[in-house]
Chains A and B, each alone.
Chain A
């Protein structure tokens, strides 16, 4: 790990001398892409980051939202892609650990986790299967042990992740507003390092995350220790309750180098520390190793000498090590010593603020032709196609995954995984709904519209539970940004997200950029993953079971935009076509109307239409409610599309509503009055999923047969190596 020539001369000119080797390592860690966001930072500013609910405080690693009555919700998203690609178990687990500590550093208790998992073609590729299985176990073992429920996520497979893994984790926290850590430091304050010992594992991790995987540095594996993390959580919260923490930061990428320099820079202080005071796992570690080690489960805390005793007592109770490694000064320098000897002495402003790059961008060549569709023979047996899709790895139920996660601990989970979004109850009587979504297939075809689509899908999922979106988390994952074509896709996605966020007044409360995601065969597809938080202010309207005689209404138009759909990619093995586009006005109208209908108790349940289109969405309803349906494709609002397109188009802004007969008139009138494009398209009953067009049967599939395939195929694929159904 090192600085390039230009960075080296910049550093020299800024400090006016040759840097020491420790200084070089510190700066290299902090100026890495992972820590400094040097390629992305100047652009990220375009996202709207303020709003009436947002609480901004210096030095927070997570977003803070005021949810009323003196309570706050915190949120953050992270990825651990490079480590997970080589050691999926430890990589995924330590990814969970990292994002949890970001929540903890604001002084809030972590209350929920989400995981977004992406791998290569799991049907063909044994490596992908191994990565997937172990990443799931990693998330499970870590989150379960901490007692933080993993309540949602997504799983997706695409050839672009061959020999690679995207492991995204998001976490939510909850606490009293008055307990938030007000990051500050006073004269004479001490700097304390608490938690696991510092070792050689994980040296160079952030640099590793900023290189492409081909590079040699693979030593950066980190061993997860959820038990210590659990003790840290309890100790920190106890210390917080005792008002013992002036400022706090978790140790993540770049280890002590980043934590110390960034804390000092954010608080406008200086920090003097001694590496000899750091409790290390091995006795022969040199200062630079100690400064850049990314050993997990450590927190940096600033406290006063008077409070130290109490803090130490708490640490002792939980058997966690706690070392005073330095103290606060007011010279805006980070001064690292080994005993009496100075090994680094740098202005924190220099360390913590890498020079931002302004990378060139250029529209990728491939986009010029990507929308041109191949000619397909029409599907002759749509029942078979639907069956195939329902059992396909991307659409099949993820129950095999989320049943390995304790999603109930904490007894907040009101709506559990398996629904569009999960819902947590909060202590003030309100409810929090959340979901993360990505769609690399659409983002590849149109990085801008694709990203907007992910954002809208996450909103839709949250809206289906009756919650109004209040905040967004973005995680922008791309290939090597030095390739202008890749950087262009990054900028396009970011602009799309910004437009959507501004139009809907959903502020970005946090995010992360992960670049250099390159597999041995090339860059990954653009993969922004968007998390949306929604709030239910008043009553929770639990989805009710669908029964015979209930009606199905579709909201929104089904359009000829099949690009990136499972129908094109999984059934036809074709990458291309027109990417679905979100019409902001319609989207807003639909969200508002659906929320109103839910609030008025006019609908039994709402489900969004996404992967696999209307056919899959309706089938999911039938399968989870164990009931058949009869749907007329000729009623679906569309412009003369062929049956297979109506069935499988993935147009956005669509919802399917289940309505009881007695509420049918009222719901339809409401939608009409609000000029929403909708149609009553079917009725529930019987034991078959049926679609017809003008009376002619298009699909006829037994619910139980479809359900069996949908529920079991992912497990069968992973455990037995093939889908049996």
Chain B
């Protein structure tokens, strides 16, 4: 099974994600430059974090127009799991694959700190190994990480069980403390925190198991899990 890691000009967590997929979870991962197309044999797509196009205009908006996004969209329509982390989430939102927007943090500053996530939806390809309300210690690192959606959208999200992760406490002022959402079908997931920074105990000052479940969920989804 093959996981595509999409690289945009300015992506900077691509190598971290690749390391985790290959060295930690023994997956077959491959980089794809944003101008390329995606081959048919891809089983999952990951948009890593970073500052695509220097976050100019708005985080994610320029990358959302990259040629490869059309292929990501096609894959997502086929039900293939797609995960956007941080800037990847911003790109998914700006390209309309996920609802809502990500605004500047209330502090107006970049924020790099550890926080707790709460799993709201454990039915997605990236959360199927969690219990509902399970906690995940995980770091955030973003300047535009405040999830916002208007009331109608929020209502819809709740009804459809599209809120995947919430923060344990209010870190940046996001609507309903939302940290991650999915599309209506549940196969496209976006999250602001960085699971790839939390799955190795060596660099995780708290507990690396919960974050690992995000990737183990993917393995299970693909039928290669334990």
- Does chain A touch chain B in the assembled complex, meaning CB atoms less than 8 Å apart? yes
* Chain A hits for B61, CB < 8 A: none
- Supposing A147-B51, A406-B112, A407-B112 touch, asked if A318 and B16 sit within 8 A by C-beta, the answer is no
Check if A425 is an interface residue, CB within 8 A of chain B.
Answer: yes
Q: Which residue, of A402, A405, A408, A540, has the highest number of chain B Cβ atoms within 10 A?
A: A408
- Supposing A404-B110, A408-B197, A411-B197 touch, asked if A227 and B203 sit within 8 A by C-beta, the answer is no
- Supposing A403-B111, A408-B197, A409-B13 touch, asked if A226 and B203 sit within 8 A by C-beta, the answer is no
Check if A317 is an interface residue, CB within 8 A of chain B.
Answer: yes
Other-chain residue from A226, A403, A410, A412 in contact with B113 (beta carbon distance below 8 A):
A403
* Chain B hits for A414, CB < 8 A: 202-203
Other-chain residue from B10, B51, B203 in contact with A412 (beta carbon distance below 8 A):
B203
Q: Is the CB of A413 within 8 A of B203?
A: yes
Check if B56 is an interface residue, CB within 8 A of chain A.
Answer: yes
Q: Is the CB of B141 within 8 A of A408?
A: yes
* Chain B hits for A413, CB < 8 A: 203
Other-chain residue from A141, A146, A317, A405 in contact with B112 (beta carbon distance below 8 A):
A405
Q: Nearest chain-B residue to A228 (Cβ)?
A: B54
Instruction: Tell me, rounded to whole Å, the shortest Cβ–Cβ distance linking A706 to chain B.
Output: 21
Q: Is the CB of B202 within 8 A of A425?
A: yes
CA distance A706 to B112 in the complex (A): 24
CA distance A85 to B109 in the complex (A): 22
CA distance A319 to B143 in the complex (A): 25
Check if B148 is an interface residue, CB within 8 A of chain A.
Answer: no
CA distance A406 to B10 in the complex (A): 15
Other-chain residue from A145, A317, A403 in contact with B51 (beta carbon distance below 8 A):
A145
Check if A391 is an interface residue, CB within 8 A of chain B.
Answer: no
Contact with A along B175-208 (1 / 0, CB 8 A): 0000000000000000000101100101101000
* Chain A hits for B194, CB < 8 A: 408
Contact with A along B104-115 (1 / 0, CB 8 A): 000001111100
Check if B116 is an interface residue, CB within 8 A of chain A.
Answer: no
* Chain B hits for A230, CB < 8 A: 9-10, 12, 51, 54
Size class of B's contact patch?
20 to 34
Interface residues of B in 1-48 (CB under 8 A from A): 9-10, 12-13, 15-16, 19-20, 33
CA distance A201 to B43 in the complex (A): 49
Instruction: Tell me, rounded to whole Å, the shortest Cβ–Cβ distance linking A398 to chain B.
Output: 13
CA distance A311 to B55 in the complex (A): 27
Q: Is the CB of B9 within 8 A of A319?
A: yes
Q: Is the CB of A416 within 8 A of B205?
A: yes
- Supposing A227-B56, A403-B111, A416-B205 touch, asked if A411 and B12 sit within 8 A by C-beta, the answer is no
Q: Nearest chain-B residue to A317 (Cβ)?
A: B33
Q: Is the CB of B9 within 8 A of A404?
A: no
Instruction: Tell me, rounded to whole Å, the shortest Cβ–Cβ distance linking A89 to chain B.
Output: 14
* Chain B hits for A319, CB < 8 A: 9
Q: Is the CB of A409 within 8 A of B141?
A: yes
Instruction: Tell me, rounded to whole Å, the shortest Cβ–Cβ distance linking B193 to chain A.
Output: 11
Interface residues of A in 144-170 (CB under 8 A from B): 144-147
- Supposing A404-B109, A410-B16, A414-B203 touch, asked if A145 and B196 sit within 8 A by C-beta, the answer is no
Contact with B along A114-141 (1 / 0, CB 8 A): 0000000000000000000000010011
Check if B137 is an interface residue, CB within 8 A of chain A.
Answer: no
CA distance A406 to B140 in the complex (A): 9
* Chain A hits for B50, CB < 8 A: 147
Interface residues of B in 117-165 (CB under 8 A from A): 139, 141, 143
Instruction: Tell me, rounded to whole Å, the shortest Cβ–Cβ distance linking A185 to chain B.
Output: 31
Instruction: Tell me, rounded to whole Å, the shortest Cβ–Cβ distance linking A422 to chain B.
Output: 12
Q: Is the CB of B203 within 8 A of A408?
A: yes
Check if A231 is an interface residue, CB within 8 A of chain B.
Answer: yes
Q: Which residue, of B51, B112, B200, has the highest number of chain A Cβ atoms within 10 A?
A: B112
Q: Nearest chain-B residue to A320 (Cβ)?
A: B9
Other-chain residue from B19, B51, B111, B113 in contact with A411 (beta carbon distance below 8 A):
B19
Interface residues of B in 48-68 (CB under 8 A from A): 49-51, 53-56
Q: Is the CB of A406 within 8 A of B141?
A: yes
Q: Is the CB of B143 within 8 A of A411?
A: no
* Chain A hits for B16, CB < 8 A: 409-411
Q: Nearest chain-B residue to A234 (Cβ)?
A: B9
CA distance A416 to B205 in the complex (A): 9
Q: Is the CB of B202 within 8 A of A408?
A: no
Instruction: Tell me, rounded to whole Å, the shortest Cβ–Cβ distance linking B2 to chain A.
Output: 22
Q: Nearest chain-A residue to B111 (Cβ)?
A: A403
CA distance A695 to B56 in the complex (A): 62
Instruction: Tell me, rounded to whole Å, the shortest Cβ–Cβ distance linking A295 to chain B.
Output: 17
CA distance A137 to B202 in the complex (A): 29
Q: Which residue, of A231, A409, A416, has the highest number of chain B Cβ atoms within 10 A?
A: A409
* Chain A hits for B141, CB < 8 A: 144, 406, 408-409
* Chain B hits for A408, CB < 8 A: 112, 139, 141, 194, 197, 203
Instruction: Tell me, rounded to whole Å, the shortest Cβ–Cβ distance linking B164 to chain A.
Output: 22
Interface residues of A in 621-648 (CB under 8 A from B): none
CA distance A287 to B200 in the complex (A): 54
Q: Is the CB of B54 within 8 A of A145?
A: yes
Q: Is the CB of B53 within 8 A of A411?
A: no
Instruction: Tell me, rounded to whole Å, the shortest Cβ–Cβ distance linking A670 to chain B.
Output: 28
* Chain A hits for B110, CB < 8 A: 140-141, 144, 404-406
* Chain A hits for B109, CB < 8 A: 137, 140, 403-404
Other-chain residue from B13, B49, B54, B202 in contact with A226 (beta carbon distance below 8 A):
B54
Q: Is the CB of B112 within 8 A of A411?
A: no
- Supposing A406-B112, A408-B139, A416-B205 touch, asked if A146 and B12 sit within 8 A by C-beta, the answer is yes
CA distance A219 to B20 in the complex (A): 47
Instruction: Tell me, rounded to whole Å, the shortest Cβ–Cβ distance linking A359 to chain B.
Output: 43
Q: Is the CB of A144 within 8 A of B51?
A: yes
Instruction: Tell me, rounded to whole Å, the shortest Cβ–Cβ distance linking B12 to chain A.
Output: 2
Q: Is the CB of B56 within 8 A of A147?
A: no
Q: Nearest chain-B residue to A145 (Cβ)?
A: B51
Interface residues of A in 388-424 (CB under 8 A from B): 402-414, 416
Other-chain residue from B9, B49, B205 in contact with A231 (beta carbon distance below 8 A):
B9
CA distance A402 to B111 in the complex (A): 9
Other-chain residue from A317, A410, A411, A540 in contact with B200 (beta carbon distance below 8 A):
A411
Instruction: Tell me, rounded to whole Å, the shortest Cβ–Cβ distance linking B36 to chain A.
Output: 11
Q: Nearest chain-A residue to B11 (Cβ)?
A: A147
Given contacts A408-B197, A409-B16, 17 further A-B contacts (CB under 8 A): A140-B109, A141-B110, A144-B141, A227-B10, A227-B51, A227-B53, A227-B54, A227-B56, A230-B10, A230-B51, A231-B9, A403-B109, A404-B112, A405-B112, A408-B139, A409-B141, A411-B19
A–B pairs, 9, beta carbons within 8 Å? A141-B110, A144-B110, A146-B12, A147-B51, A227-B53, A227-B54, A230-B51, A406-B141, A540-B202
A-B interface, 5 closest residue pairs, ranked by CB to CB distance from nearest: A147-B12, A227-B54, A145-B51, A406-B141, A411-B16
- Show the binding face of B for A, using Cβ within 8 Å: 9-10, 12-13, 15-16, 19-20, 33, 49-51, 53-56, 109-113, 139, 141, 143, 194, 196-197, 200, 202-203, 205
- Show the binding face of A for B, using Cβ within 8 Å: 137, 140-141, 144-147, 225-227, 230-231, 317-319, 402-414, 416, 425, 540
